[in-house]
Structure formats: C-alpha cells, structure tokens
Structure 1
C-alpha cells in the first residue's frame, strides 16, 4: 500500500467528470438514443434525440470535462452495431468537451451473455460468428476500448490498456490530477442463463487490484467505475440480487488505500451515499440512465446527464453536480430537487450527519437565511440528497425547526422556528 500522507502534504486538487450512465444506443426500441444502421443519429433534433440535445447543451454552455465516465451498457441487447456506434459517439463527445480521457466499464448489454446455441442450430454456417466469446465485439472496437487518451495518436496506449483490462478484469488510468480504476464486473459473463444479470469480482481480480493500488497516488482524485453496484441496491421491488459478488472486498480494498468515489450504473436509478461501514468508506454514486425508456423501468427514475466537479482536500473528497433531466419535446433541463434524486447542485462530502443536525439546531437568532446557515455550518452544503432530506425531517421532529423551500426551484432559503 502507498504510505500515509499527512494533511499538510495534500493540497486541494480539482477535476471535472462528465458522467453518462447506461446510454443504450438502439436501432429500434427501448431507448431514446435511436440510431440508423449507418450509426448516425436517427434524428438530429435536440428535443427528440437526447444525444443531439446533449451536443447542443455542451456547445451552447461551453461545457468541458477532464474525463467522460460511462459505467457501461453503451449498447442495447448486445448489438454489435449499437455498441460500435455508441462508442464512436462517446469518443466524439470527449473531443467536443476537450477531455483528456474517455473511459467506459463493461455492461451486460455490451457483451454476448446469453446462449447462442439456438441461433447456431438454425443455421450453423451462417451463424458461426455467434460462437465467438462474449467480449469479442468489445475487443474489436476502434479506437481501442475501454479507454481513449487525448494525444494517443497511434493508439498504442489504447491497445495496451485493452490487453490489460481484459486480462486482469480491471485497468488503472492515470492523469496529473486523477486516477480512474475501470472494473469489469462482467468479467465472468459467459453463455449460461444465470450469468447475464449478476456482477462479479473474482479472486484473480482481487490480486490484480492489490497490485494496482500500490501504483495509486493519494494526492490524486481517485475514481472507480464499474457497471454493477458494488453492494445491494434495492429499487421499488425490482430486486437487489444484481450487485457485484465479492463487491464488499472491492470496497474494503479501496477504503484501505484512500478516499475513493465509486461510479456504477445498471439500476437506471440515481443514488448517492457512502458504502456501508465506517465513515472512511468510498462515496458510491449510482448514475441514472442517460436515455432508457423510463416507462419500462419500475420505480421513480429519470433520464439524466451529469457534470461532477470533485475536490480532494485534506479532510477527503467533496463533490457538486450539475444535473440535467431529459424531456422528449423539451430537451435537457436543469434537474429540480425531488425526493432523494440527484438534482442540479446536489453535493457530497459531509461525513457526520448527526453533527450537522446538532450544529444547525444550535444556531440563533432565527429566522436565518440559508446562506448564513451554510456559512456557519459548511457541511450543511455538502449533504447528499437522501441525508439532506433526513436532516430537514429530524430538525422538524426533534428541534421544532422548519426549513423553508422556494416553490419555484425547490431550493432551501431560510431556517425558522416551526409553527406550533
């Protein structure tokens, strides 16, 4: 492991990541990201196709990022055409946003993880390619998958990264300000029916991770990206079985090395919080799908795009989101606070929620503008949405305090005594 570094040795480091969860490019159904057989968008209208709208949003607002992170499911139903087209669109977006890296983990829709036996029986000669391994389509992508580095003109680094990723089931990508660990949670997917939903982190990957972590620099922002959630993620009756087998070991190894942000997809439901365990566990962000048809998904989910600014300071990682929701016919709009979802301005970094409640309850005199509350209790501005809502509820129930919410944008504006 890397030696401990004192707080004085760690300066503030900042990086911006564009996060695109489960894009699901499709030729026919299931997603708003429809493409032609040629790979071009089926519609260039920014209010009809989320990708066209995303390019317009990036251009109009001059959005830039250090890296694009996609936690898998570029494709839809293991289609080679939607996979290759989607990867090209991701790489092109990276150029548009002036990114140093474009990285993607492997999703279950990106691999041939269902049995091809019936297809072979129907026409053995015609369908011989169906007998290729589940990762062959990914290995043939150009530029080389799963990472593209700006300036890698001959793609030699990309080819080296591809070999390491598929050989070790993970890859560490480094830059001056950050390090990104790409974990292949589909590494054990084959053609058996029980395999296509679960995620895995096998013993061989544990060994490779231990080696990779010795190469990590605690002065860089550390992000791990994977498709499946590393621990159980229940969702409105939709099941909690599809997390990474041995994911707890993965989280423990990350926590032992330093401060980590873990980004995953698969569930199509946005969620932000700490992994179970001590206060030093990684922050885990489950990204919503960029474009899946939400009417086909159980629960209250949205199509979202994120620009996440992460800071590494002496006391750990903090982050703040710019978040947009997709609406067909209207395009991308800033996400309003709603329940425990990720809204425009959502943050993380507060580790002791109980202390935040106690400190706010001690404030006086009231009423007090929320900006003044944040000035006096800075961690009140770094509460993830779920914790934020709990703080509001407990201040009301235990301390008879009310947080006033602006009806137009859902932002908190004032702390006051609750009406009796």
Structure 2
C-alpha cells in the first residue's frame, strides 16, 4: 500500500529589516515592510499562493539561513512567519535548522554569544518541544517525529561558534557516533528525512566552490544508507538540484533547496531563481520516490510556476525511479505501439515509474525514445512532457 507525505520547503530566506541598512543586493525579504503588496514581498506572496491554490502540507521544512548576518529582529520575524505558514498549510509541525547566517559567529552583536538570539526564540528553536531543542544544542542534532515521518535535524554550524570553521559545515565524530547509536537501537521508520544547512557532498556547479562541503559528509551519507532509505534536504548553495549521493548501496536522495529569497551571485544568477517547493513523497517500501513541484519568485508578479531548460531547475521533477531508462524507453514504445500520440498522463498511469525520473533521467528517456524508437515529445507551458508519439516530429 502506498501513502503520500507532503513537505513544504523554503530555505535561505536571508531576511533583514530595511531599516538596518540592508542593501537591496543582499536582501529581498525585508522584515519591516509587511504591509506592502504580496507581489512585492516573498512571505506575503507565499501566503497568497497557498490561499489561491489551496495548498497543504504535512510538514514545513526550513534548512537554515532564516536571516542575513544574524539579524536578531529578522530571526524573530521569520520564526513567527514559519509558524503562520505551517498553520495555513495545515501542517503537523516545522522542521528547521541553523544556517551560517543565523549564528552570530562574526560578532555582529558583541554583547551576546553566537546562538543567543536563536535560543531566545519563542516557541523554542528548532523544535517547539524544549527537550528536543536542548538535545539539538547539546549534541549537534536531534530526532523529530512529525506525523509519520522521522526527521534527523543536524546543526552543521556547530563549530561556527568556536569561529574556527566558518567557511564550511561539519558533523562531528561525536555527533555521528550518537546518531548511529540512535539509528541502530531505535525502531525502524519507513520514512526518513535528514535536514541540514550545508551540503553533504560536493556541490561545485557554476563555480560555486568545492571547499565548503560538510566535513564528515560522506561518512554521514554512508551511515544513513546503512540504516534505511533516506532523503537529505539542505540549503546554503542557492542553487537547486536533486540527485543521488555517492555510494555503493541505497544511496540517499539529496535535494539542494536553492534559496527562497536570498541573493544569487555570479553564473548562478543566470541559471537560478528564488524557489518554494512542495515535495510529495510516495512511500513504496523499501524505497522513497516522489515528485517535486516548484514555484519561483518574480517581483511584481509573485510566486509562479515557470518553464525552465537545462541547466535550470525544472518546475516539475521526480525522484526515486527504480527502473533503468533504456528499459522504460522500451516499455513506453510498446505502450504507444502504432498509436499516433499518447498523453503523458496516460503513459504515467500505465507506467508509474515515469513520474519518478530525475531531470537528467527524464531527458535521457526522451533522447532514447527519439533516437532509438522514433518517438517524439511535445512539451507543455512548463517545458514538461505533454504528449509523445511517432507522428509528432
């Protein structure tokens, strides 16, 4: 039996008050301009989108960088807004973690200690259960149950407070040992999701750098693979993509969330936008599969679905297919047979694995169908397959 768990994901908000002289190039989400039009304010626009489309979710996920340069007022604002969005979506809880901009490791507030503003948040951060938040701050992680999903929430900025590893994330040996002990001694879960700010494996696309990957990241991914099927959701890079982690067995699915309202720099500014995601996870044990639906932010228009071509992140993406692309191409060709054309929805009903193809896999399928089976593709307004057939060329 298959069931669905839905996540709403907004990462790297980089919010700050305009009154704090936050430059427009640094901040798009101003926390002291709530009453401007929803088409000019990403949080107001998201609330309008949720209301207009009747969106819902089981959990709201925020992988860090709620604020920009550890602004205390913005932390309070975003934490409040996340709870309001969670309530509007009908979610059972919020799963959030610390980003490097949330910890005052560079001494913007010299009278306080680096995580003081985070620890003063009400309800407690990152979990409204104070005991879970205490574990998070004490051990660098906590486990949080939201509905039927088990979340592993990790503070990859733990050593930023010592100001000795400000340019990268870390999962310490100590945390890894305690996480592994919990996973091996606790009841198994059919739905496992890890949330962290930094990326656990190299994410060097578009000259975004290779040195800020999580220290012990691959050990962490291997440990997850040894303890079930996992999805890892992270922020930090402001460049979204979805892929499998490196490994020889049961590799976790890794989603880089991109940025909800943060600055985009360099080559990435030509490729990426600001994003909000809805993820539907189909629990078809023993694997995880599902789809990601995304919107991007257009000042003056608000949140909208969009057409995208590689290397941009698509408005629709799958993950978790367990069938080889060449085999799927043969099956699609067989389903189409002598028909002139068939709609993509009908194809996915007859072969559900098609809906779970990652973007590169989908492009490979379309190419194989064209080159090997003379089957062509017509796309919809989002540049997603709409129809396939031999007479569409």
Q: TM-score, normalised by structure 1?
A: 0.84
CA contact (8 A) 1:335 1:342 kept: no
Partner of 1:167: 138
SS of 1:195's equivalent in the other structure is: coil
Partner of 2:197: 227
Partner of 1:330: 301
SS of 1:76's equivalent in the other structure is: coil
Partner of 2:220: 250
Once residues 414 and 216 of structure 1 are traced to their aligned partners in structure 2, the CA distance between those partners, rounded to angstroms, is: 47
Partner of 2:65: 73
Partner of 2:387: 414
Structure 1 residue 318 displacement after superposition: 1.4
Structure 1 residue 407 displacement after superposition: 5.4
SS of 1:257's equivalent in the other structure is: coil
Once residues 35 and 167 of structure 2 are traced to their aligned partners in structure 1, the CA distance between those partners, rounded to angstroms, is: 31
The gaps in structure 2 that reach 5 residues or longer are none
Partner of 1:57: 49
Kindly report the root-mean-square deviation, in angstroms, between the aligned alpha carbons of the 2 structures: 2.4
Partner of 2:31: 35
Once residues 23 and 247 of structure 1 are traced to their aligned partners in structure 2, the CA distance between those partners, rounded to angstroms, is: 24
SS of 2:152's equivalent in the other structure is: strand
Partner of 1:205: 175
Q: Which runs of structure 2 are paired with 1:12-411 in the superposition (5 Å)?
A: 12-27=2-17, 28-29=22-23, 30-36=26-32, 41-114=33-106, 116=107, 129-130=111-112, 132=113, 134-148=114-128, 158-190=129-161, 192=163, 195-214=165-184, 217-278=187-248, 280-294=250-264, 297-354=268-325, 355-360=327-332, 364-365=337-338, 367-369=340-342, 370-397=344-371, 399=372, 401-406=374-379, 408-411=381-384
* Larger deviation, residues 161-170 vs 376-385: 376-385
CA contact (8 A) 1:72 1:105 kept: yes
Structure 1 residue 83 displacement after superposition: 1.6
Change (3 A) 1:417 1:279: farther
Once residues 190 and 95 of structure 1 are traced to their aligned partners in structure 2, the CA distance between those partners, rounded to angstroms, is: 32
CA contact (8 A) 2:271 2:311 kept: no
Once residues 361 and 202 of structure 1 are traced to their aligned partners in structure 2, the CA distance between those partners, rounded to angstroms, is: 50
Once residues 326 and 176 of structure 1 are traced to their aligned partners in structure 2, the CA distance between those partners, rounded to angstroms, is: 29
Q: Deviations over 1:208-253 (max 9, x none)?
A: 1112213654443211100011100112112122111111111111
Partner of 1:8: none
Once residues 352 and 341 of structure 1 are traced to their aligned partners in structure 2, the CA distance between those partners, rounded to angstroms, is: 25
Once residues 131 and 282 of structure 2 are traced to their aligned partners in structure 1, the CA distance between those partners, rounded to angstroms, is: 29
SS of 1:129's equivalent in the other structure is: coil
Q: Deviations over 1:329-373 (max 9, x none)?
A: 111112334325443442212134333344345552354413443
Once residues 147 and 265 of structure 2 are traced to their aligned partners in structure 1, the CA distance between those partners, rounded to angstroms, is: 42
CA contact (8 A) 2:272 2:313 kept: no
CA contact (8 A) 1:353 1:391 kept: no
Structure 1 residue 388 displacement after superposition: 1.2
Q: Deviations over 1:83-138 (max 9, x none)?
A: 22211211222122222111211100001222x4xx8xxxxxxx7515x2x22221
Structure 1 residue 140 displacement after superposition: 1.6
CA contact (8 A) 1:113 1:195 kept: no
Once residues 81 and 97 of structure 1 are traced to their aligned partners in structure 2, the CA distance between those partners, rounded to angstroms, is: 25
Number of residues of Structure 1 aligned to a counterpart in Structure 2: 383
CA contact (8 A) 1:14 1:221 kept: no
Once residues 323 and 346 of structure 1 are traced to their aligned partners in structure 2, the CA distance between those partners, rounded to angstroms, is: 9
CA contact (8 A) 1:71 1:264 kept: yes
Once residues 272 and 312 of structure 2 are traced to their aligned partners in structure 1, the CA distance between those partners, rounded to angstroms, is: 8
